[in-house]
Amino acid sequence: MAKRMGYVRVNFEEKLALFSKRWAPKVIAELNDYQFKLAKLEGEFVWHEHRETDEAFVVLAGALRIELRDGAVELKAGELFVVPKGVEHRPVADGECHVLLVEPRGVVSTGEVASALRAENNVWI
């Protein structure tokens, strides 16, 4: 029997304690070509879209509003929302919010929009 290496348990609270910067997702795991990213959000992000992929938001703590051009989705801890590809959206957190993002490797946080809030990609923690 071959010895398996690299089994890793990831604890969200432990990982979240390692950073404080808002709107700067940190990669914590990969599944095939998808990355799981933790982020701390507060305030308003920029309107943007991802033309080639859906984007999943899982709220771990706090509350998040995903504004869409034709409405908004309110999320609280324990809830999930998938923004379909090509749908313009803007995440807004009135207070600090912790989220798990699930999206393909290489997705740019602001889509095609140039912004000071654009996060560095592929940052592991």
User: pLDDT digit string (tens) for 57-99?
Assistant: 999 999 999 999 999 999 999 999 999 999 999 999 999 999 9
Residue 110 has what pLDDT? 81
Closest CA to 49 of 115, 122, 104, 109: 109
Report the CATH architecture of 24-104. Sandwich (2.60)
> Can you give the residue ranges of every domain in the chain?
24-104
- First-to-last alpha carbon distance for the chain, in angstroms, is 32
Q: Would the pLDDT of 34 be above 70?
A: yes
How deeply is 1 buried, as exposed, middle or buried, from its count of CB atoms within 10 A (0-12, 13-18, 19+)? exposed
Q: How confident is the model at residue 1 (pLDDT cuts 50, 70, 90)?
A: very low
Mean pLDDT taken over the chain = 94
Q: Would the pLDDT of 4 be above 70?
A: no
Neighbours of 60 (CB within 10 A): 16
